[in-house]
């Protein structure tokens, strides 16, 4: 059904189309595919590939163009991890060497890095759960008669804050009492494991404490899912229809949709979703490459890129994998969102450079699991 030659032809068509964005003819394939057969033979095979749904002809006398299914086969049959080019490897190295500062800032810049690496739009989803780690410090601050601010500094330096609106006025002394009691109970333990507080006898204080615990346990409603999008302009270059650009931009602006999209793709065990494989109609001409990153061993967020279906999958996948890997490293080693001390990452786990057999398995490993389990080319 899919002998070696047909596979080779399909691959050649996809590669060529990705490069040139134009229908690929049988002659073109024979030139580039260095399989020793004539165009006529290729034509026959291409006809079959079209019947099987891997290719299609825009019109009768044109070359062939890959379908989503064709891209899927191509991606699934990608084996060699395209190593990063030297210039790109350098970019990554530089970036993670000088990594520091606030989490948000880092993630924002990461989205730009990823976009620069791939020339597509990059998406970085921030960790949604309150970052783990023991509570280092806790405090309530009274802001106005009925508004109290709760501040917790976590082990990694992240600051969780919640503002509480009380049902009734409260005294400064009461706030302080609750603050002290909560601090005594919380500091040194984990936020999510915080149990209920003993009664103090003062109903206002008890109420404040239980509200605080409740608020701390669920994620910050304001923070929502923080998403960083980088390089939308680059994405625009990959399409030529203005309407397509509009639609894609529209999606990129809907943070919730974006997050769902990436999450959905990951949940299905994929690292690449091609064309209509993800459900979003406006992105029918787009593919998505994703990888999760971890913080302290727990899956925390997602990085991904969004480009045209005719994207450079190998490079994109490598870039995403490398960045997610490095991000995991950067976030786990030096500490979380507080100031991270300077990384030794460059020395320890070299970014795969271009030449040679390349220790690229390192960068790839994380993504390899999910990568080949597509609802493939059946």
- State the nearest-atom distance from the C-beta of 239 to a copy of itself, in Å: 8
- State the nearest-atom distance from the C-beta of 8 to DNA, in Å: 12
- State the nearest-atom distance from the C-beta of 136 to a copy of itself, in Å: 5
Site for a copy of itself in 205-234 (CB under 8 A): 221-224, 230-233
CA distance 37 to 253: 49
Judged by beta carbon, residue 156 or residue 177, the one nearer a copy of itself is 156
Cβ-Cβ contacts under 8 Å for 228 (sequence gap 6 or more): 104, 107, 108, 110, 111, 123, 124, 125, 126
Judged by beta carbon, residue 143 or residue 184, the one nearer a copy of itself is 143
Judged by beta carbon, residue 124 or residue 272, the one nearer a copy of itself is 124
Judged by beta carbon, residue 211 or residue 366, the one nearer a copy of itself is 211
Judged by the rule CB under 7 A, the positions of this chain that interact with DNA are 5, 23-28, 36-41, 43-44, 46-47, 50, 57, 59-64
- State the nearest-atom distance from the C-beta of 205 to a copy of itself, in Å: 18
| 339 contributes a contact to a copy of itself by CB under 8 A | yes
Angle at 242 between CA 312 and CA 115, to 5 degrees: 35
Burial of 187: CB neighbours in 10 Å, binned 0-12, 13-18, 19+: middle
CA distance 371 to 312: 16
For residue 191, the 8-state DSSP code is G
CA distance 194 to 181: 12
- State the nearest-atom distance from the C-beta of 345 to a copy of itself, in Å: 17
Choosing from 49, 89, 164, 197, the residue that interacts with a copy of itself (CB under 8 A) is 164
CA distance 9 to 45: 8
Which single residue is written with the structure tokens 């709760």? 150
What b/e string do you get for 263-277 counting C-beta neighbours within 10 Å, with b at 16 or more? bbbbeeebbbbbbeb
Residues that bind a copy of itself in the complex, under the rule CB under 8 A: 101-102, 104-105, 136-137, 139, 141-144, 146-147, 149, 151, 153, 156-157, 159, 161, 163-165, 221-224, 230-233, 236-237, 239-240, 242, 245-247, 249-250, 252-253, 335, 338-339, 341
């Amino acid at each position: 059904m899919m002998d070696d030659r047909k596979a080779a032809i399909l691959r050649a068509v996809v590669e060529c189309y990705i490069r040139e964005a134009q229908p690929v003819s049988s002659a073109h394939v024979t030139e580039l595919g260095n399989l020793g057969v004539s165009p006529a033979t290729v034509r026959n095979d291409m006809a079959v590939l079209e019947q099987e749904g891997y290719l299609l002809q825009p019109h009768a006398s044109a070359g062939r163009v890959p379908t989503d299914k064709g891209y899927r086969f191509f991606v699934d049959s990608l084996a060699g991890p395209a190593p990063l080019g030297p210039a790109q490897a350098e970019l990554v190295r530089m970036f993670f060497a000088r990594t520091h500062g606030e989490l948000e800032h880092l993630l924002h810049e990461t989205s730009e890095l990823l976009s620069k690496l791939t020339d597509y739009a990059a998406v970085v989803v921030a960790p949604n759960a309150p970052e783990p780690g023991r509570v280092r410090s806790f405090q309530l601050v009274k802001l106005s008669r009925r508004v109290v601010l709760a501040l917790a500094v976590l082990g990694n330096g992240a600051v969780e804050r919640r503002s509480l609106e009380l049902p009734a006025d409260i005294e400064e002394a009461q706030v302080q009492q609750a603050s002290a009691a909560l601090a005594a109970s919380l500091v040194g333990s984990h936020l999510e494991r915080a149990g209920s507080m003993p009664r103090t006898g003062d109903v206002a204080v008890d109420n404040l404490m239980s509200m605080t615990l409740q608020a701390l346990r669920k994620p910050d409603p304001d923070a929502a899912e923080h998403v960083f999008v980088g390089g939308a302009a680059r994405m625009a270059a990959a399409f030529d229809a203005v309407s397509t650009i509009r639609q894609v931009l529209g999606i990129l602006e809907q943070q919730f949709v974006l997050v769902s999209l990436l999450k959905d793709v990951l949940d299905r065990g994929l690292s690449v979703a091609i064309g209509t494989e993800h459900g979003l109609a406006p992105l029918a001409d787009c593919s998505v490459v994703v990888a999760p990153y971890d913080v302290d061993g727990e899956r925390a967020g997602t990085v991904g890129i969004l480009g045209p279906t005719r994207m450079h999958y190998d490079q994109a996948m490598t870039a995403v994998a490398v960045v997610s890997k490095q991000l995991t490293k950067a976030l786990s080693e030096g500490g979380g969102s507080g100031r991270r001390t300077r990384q030794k990452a460059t020395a320890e786990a070299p970014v795969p450079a271009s030449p040679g057999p390349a220790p690229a398995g390192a960068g790839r490993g994380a993504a390899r699991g999910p990568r080949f389990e597509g609802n493939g080319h059946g």
